[in-house]
Copies of this chain bind each other. A is one copy, B any other.
Amino acid sequence: MNSFGRLFRISIFGESHGVMVGVVIDGCPPGIPLTTTDFEADLSRRKSGAKGTTPRQEADLPKIVSGVFNDHTTGAPITILFENTNTRSGDYSQFREVPRPGHADFVASQKYKGFEDYRGGGHFSARITLGLVAAGVVAKKIINPISIKATLVEAGGISDVEKAIDQAIADNDTIGGVIECVATNMPIGLGEPYFDSVESMLAHIIFAVPATKGIEFGSGFEAAKMRGSVHNDWFVDTNGKTRTNHAGGINGGISNGNDLIFRVPIKPTSSTAKTQQTMNFKTGEISDFVVKGRHDTCVALRAPVIIEAVTAIVLADLKLLNK
């Protein structure tokens, strides 16, 4: 389903080349100041246009149509809409018979029996994440003073991200990257064992972000190689501060007051300009295939603000649950 959250609950909708995309935010407390200008910074971080991102340009102006009155949240559902204006739908109908490798074309066609809106990835498009970013702006206000910062720490396998992009563009190919996200000023006690643990809720929503392929908390996969005597974080003060933070700020699914830290690998953009092969599912023939249209060299460039947003959404929900 297209909703997430227990008390702070979001519902996302829309298609890449449809009339609009948007989000309904239910459960936001009343009295939070909110205007469209609050969204500018995060929406612009998600936007395309920079080197390595798609040239498709959308105004991405949020339209708040419910839940806000006199520039404050009312406690009723907040609905935020984004019109789609710069769409070119002619390019996509072929992908029903000749699905693009690495895309959802094939599974969508099978699951929705050919009724899916296949234009620009339809409902599977990363454009739907606009609603996540918008909801994240609201969530960040709720979780104050927690502060979240996500960074692209690696692209194409190297830490010099700009160099990696240049090489990929030169090679006419696409690359992925790794996002690291840190939340500071964390309270003790967020998260509920077992199924509403901090890790469970965060991982759940992280995988709703297109192109994510994994998540690790604290030392993550590296922890599996450590000894217990090394991995354990020793307490150094009576607030629960620890000497190391191998746990990533979570014990038993519950925040321990240290920084929340996790990393997420983003796969390379599926739409590479390199020649590939694919199957024509009508004729059964395999032939060469070149993706056209406007695409990102590295979607990971635009992902940090989305990762921050979904992290804020989860922490807002857990904060309300913890009261």
A residues neighboring B (CB under 8 Å): 1-4, 6-7, 9, 11-15, 18-22, 24, 26-27, 30-31, 63-67, 69-70, 72-79, 81, 99, 101-104, 106-108, 110-113, 115-117, 119, 122-124, 128, 154, 156-157, 168, 171, 173-178, 188-189, 192-197, 199-201, 203-208, 210, 212-238, 240, 242, 246-248, 251-256, 265-272, 274, 276-279, 281, 284, 286, 300, 321-323
Once the chains bind, are A214 and B216 in contact (CB under 8 Å)? yes
* Closest 4 pairs (CB-CB, A-B): A104-B252, A214-B216, A174-B228, A157-B225
Asked if A115 meets B69 with Cβ closer than 8 Å, knowing A2-B195, A208-B195, A279-B238, the reply is yes
Residues of B near A64 (CB, < 8 A) are 19
Q: This chain: how many copies in the complex?
A: 4
Q: In the complex, are the beta carbons of A256 and B107 less than 8 A apart?
A: yes
B237 with A279: CB separation less than 8 A: yes
Pair B123/A76 contact, Cβ less than 8 Å: yes
Given contacts A26-B2, A193-B2, A231-B267, contact A65 B221 (CB under 8 A): no
Contacts of A252 in B (CB 8 A): 103-104, 107-108, 124, 210
Determine the chain B residues whose CB is within 8 A of the CB of A277 once the complex forms: 234
Cβ distance A322 to chain B, nearest Cβ, rounded Å: 8
Verify A228–B272 contact, CB threshold 8 A: yes
Name the B residues within 8 Å of A267 (CB-CB): 219, 223-224, 226, 231, 246
A222 to B13, CA, bound (A): 31
Are A15 and B225 in contact (CB-based, < 8 A)? no
Docked CA distance A266–B224 (Å): 5
CB distance from A217 to the nearest CB of B (A): 5
7 contacts between A and B (CB under 8 A): A1-B27, A3-B9, A106-B235, A213-B221, A213-B248, A224-B266, A228-B268
Distance from A200 Cβ to chain B, minimum over Cβ atoms (Å): 4
